Amino acid sequence: MSELEKLREILFAKEKQTLENIRERTETPSTRTRDVAEVLPGAIGLSHRKDPQLVKALREPVRESFEYAVDKNPRAFADALFPVIGPAIRKSIAESMKALVQSMNNTMEYSLSPKGFKWRIEASRAGIPLGEYILRKTLVYRIEQVYLINRERGLMVGHVQNESAVAQDADAVSAMFTAIQDFVSDSFSPDHRQLLETADIGEFTVWVLHGPYSMMACVIRGEPPRGVRDELAEILERINLQYGEALEDFTGDSDSVEGVEDLLGECLLLEQLASGEDSKKSAISPPLLIVLLLVGAALAWWAYSSFQERQRLQAFRQAVADTPGLVATELASDGRVINMRGLADPLADDLEQVMQRAGVGEVAVAADMAPFQSLDAEIILRRARQGLKPPAGVEFSMRGDTLVASGRAGAEWREQFLSRAPLIAGVASADASATFVRDEELLRQARMALQPPAGVVLGVEDQILSIAGTAPQRWIDAVPEGLESVDSFADIDDSALVPSELAALDRIVSQLDGRTFYFASGASLLDSRNTALQSAAIQLQEGFALAELIGRTLDVQIMGFADGVGSLESNREVMRLRAEALKRGFVAAGIEADRISTAIAALPDNPVVDESMRKAELRLELRPAVPTP
């Protein structure tokens, strides 16, 4: 190493090392990458703040990267867009529908009305399409234009307007508005600080909202409610929040406030439609409402009629189903007439009753019914009642296919019932057990009802009432009436029942018949004080009374006899006299003369003298009552 090199080594060793480090850093890619990575975020931020060149430079690469990414992996972008695209579409559809309804409303409301014709003429004069004119007339308010103006320079920062709005040169208007703002402030504000906030020009209102560096002038058609100003202020606040720095430094470059017009556009969405004199607009105009109401009423009437028809048909169907003996195979309604085909038992209720039960009185029923025999229990019962004619107090019921009779019935009817009931359609067997009453119960009932006197014995066997013994005729006569309150008997046997009066009469007849009264020889006189005669007369009197009481006839004859001494003639005469004498005795004792007849006994041709024949005899015969002609 030369001296010079040594000297250089001594003097520049440190710098050499530094140079070496720098060379290594600049030539080694990984080191360079690390270095750039450290400063890149800061460099991008600084460059972006300084001027828009970075954005311009990155625009194309970013666009291409984006396209590449979408091309390679569209799913990721679809997923990312999904939450956004739904609401956007819904909002778009809602807006379209709103516009459509509004258009329909306006057309319906104004196309044929006097007001509509007036507006048509006015729109024609003004050279404005009718729809637009109607919209203007029917708006309570609508924000037509919004200017965002830089206050310092009067330069327009952004401007949006409705499609229908007629706008001047927005930059010129912004500047002029600023000038006027200053002019008004200078002219009318004592301290030149108050700012113009509202201006009314014909049908327009201009609202000016002031931010720190800009003002937002909203040109509004109509009269907006106060609350709208708050909504506009809120939008201005958001603009200031997002673009505050750009607004402060605004020199007229639109790049710095890119997107501000989207925010301004939100102002245009604020609008309200008028509804006649009301500020609250109903969603549907009156004519359309009337049409809709008419359509609705027609639909409601139709629906109600159909419903009623269905209800009626259903009610009738149910009533038919509930009616024994009716079967509907087809049932349909054409609104006025219910058409029915089916089967009907002759004993079933007629259709008018069915309709009455169904409550379909106003509807006619056209029925084509074929006859049949129903096996419905109710119809079987009707058939049984018709055919068996049960006595009062007997009820029929069905137990399965057995016809059951219950109540009081005579044995004869019961026999008929048991034999004829199974012949009735639907009845397989008959049961009359419920029509029987036990003998003991019947006897008890009979005793209670008849109160039989002593000497009368009641008995019931196999439902047959037997009455035996003697009883006064009056009691016997009252028996049928007394049994009316007692359950029916199969039969009543009163053959052994004898009236007590008849018994007494028989006794008298047996005692008096053949009673002999003796006379002296040849005598025909009887002692009137004869006690036997007196006693017999009393018995006869009693006999006549008893016979009359029981409706019998008591024949009394006195037969005269003779002892055979003397001639036949004389004997006969004695016989007659003796019979007459005895009759006179009885008449004298109180017997009516015509109640007693007299007769003489037959004499043999050669009579034998017999002293015991000096007599007269009573002959009594009880005859049944002579029927009254």
Q: List interacting residues with another protein (CB under 8 A).
A: 150, 152-156, 168-169, 171-176, 179-180, 182-183, 186, 251-255
DSSP of 437-461 = --HHHHHHHHHHHH-PPTTEEEEEE
Residue with smaller CB distance to another protein, 155 or 503: 155
CB of 168 to another protein, least distance (A): 6
Residue with smaller CB distance to another protein, 156 or 547: 156
CB 365, CB 316: distance < 8 Å: yes
Residue with smaller CB distance to another protein, 153 or 385: 153
CB of 74 to another protein, least distance (A): 30
Residue in 144, 313, 282 with CA at minimum distance from that of residue 219: 144
- Residue 273, sorted as left (phi over 0), alpha (psi -120 to 50) or beta, turns out to be beta
Q: How far apart are CA 469 and CA 476, in angstroms?
A: 11
Residue with smaller CB distance to another protein, 171 or 506: 171
DSSP state of 325: T
Residue in 140, 95, 84, 133 with CA at minimum distance from that of residue 269: 95
CB 520, CB 594: distance < 8 Å: no
Residue with smaller CB distance to another protein, 185 or 534: 185
Residue with smaller CB distance to another protein, 256 or 534: 256
Q: How far apart are CA 626 and CA 629, in angstroms?
A: 9
Q: What are phi and psi of 323, to 5 degrees?
A: -90, 120
Question: Any idea which residue has 């049960």 for tokens?
Answer: 390
Residue with smaller CB distance to another protein, 40 or 179: 179
CB of 137 to another protein, least distance (A): 28
Task: Give strand ranges (E) for 447-504.
Answer: 456-461, 464-471, 491-493, 497-499
Q: How far apart are CA 194 and CA 181, in angstroms?
A: 10
Exposure string over 294-308, b if 16+ CB within 10 A, otherwise e: eeeeeeeeeeeeeee
What six digits make up the tokens of 230?
């708050």
Residue with smaller CB distance to another protein, 122 or 253: 253
What sign does the dihedral 217-223-228-230 (CA atoms) show? positive
* Three-state secondary structure call for residue 392: coil
- Residue 146, sorted as left (phi over 0), alpha (psi -120 to 50) or beta, turns out to be beta
Residue with smaller CB distance to another protein, 256 or 597: 256
Residue with smaller CB distance to another protein, 51 or 163: 51
Q: How far apart are CA 123 and CA 110, in angstroms?
A: 13
CB of 249 to another protein, least distance (A): 12
Residue with smaller CB distance to another protein, 170 or 532: 170
Residue with smaller CB distance to another protein, 231 or 261: 261
CB of 143 to another protein, least distance (A): 22
CB of 34 to another protein, least distance (A): 37
For the chain, how big is the Rg over CA atoms in Å? 70
CB of 198 to another protein, least distance (A): 19
Q: How far apart are CA 48 and CA 513, in angstroms?
A: 170
Residue 358 CB partners (closer than 8 Å, separation 6+):
312, 315, 316, 318, 319, 320
Q: How far apart are CA 599 and CA 576, in angstroms?
A: 7
Residue with smaller CB distance to another protein, 175 or 418: 175
What six digits make up the tokens of 451?
């109160």
Residue with smaller CB distance to another protein, 152 or 494: 152
CB of 153 to another protein, least distance (A): 3
CB of 256 to another protein, least distance (A): 10
CB of 95 to another protein, least distance (A): 29
CB 163, CB 265: distance < 8 Å: no
Q: How far apart are CA 149 and CA 158, in angstroms?
A: 7
CB of 159 to another protein, least distance (A): 11
Sheet holding 615-623, edge to edge: 516-518, 615-623, 553-560, 596-600
CB 170, CB 147: distance < 8 Å: yes
**Which residues partner with 201 through β-bridges?**
204
CB of 87 to another protein, least distance (A): 31
Q: How far apart are CA 102 and CA 111, in angstroms?
A: 13
CB of 52 to another protein, least distance (A): 9
CB of 209 to another protein, least distance (A): 20
CB 560, CB 578: distance < 8 Å: yes
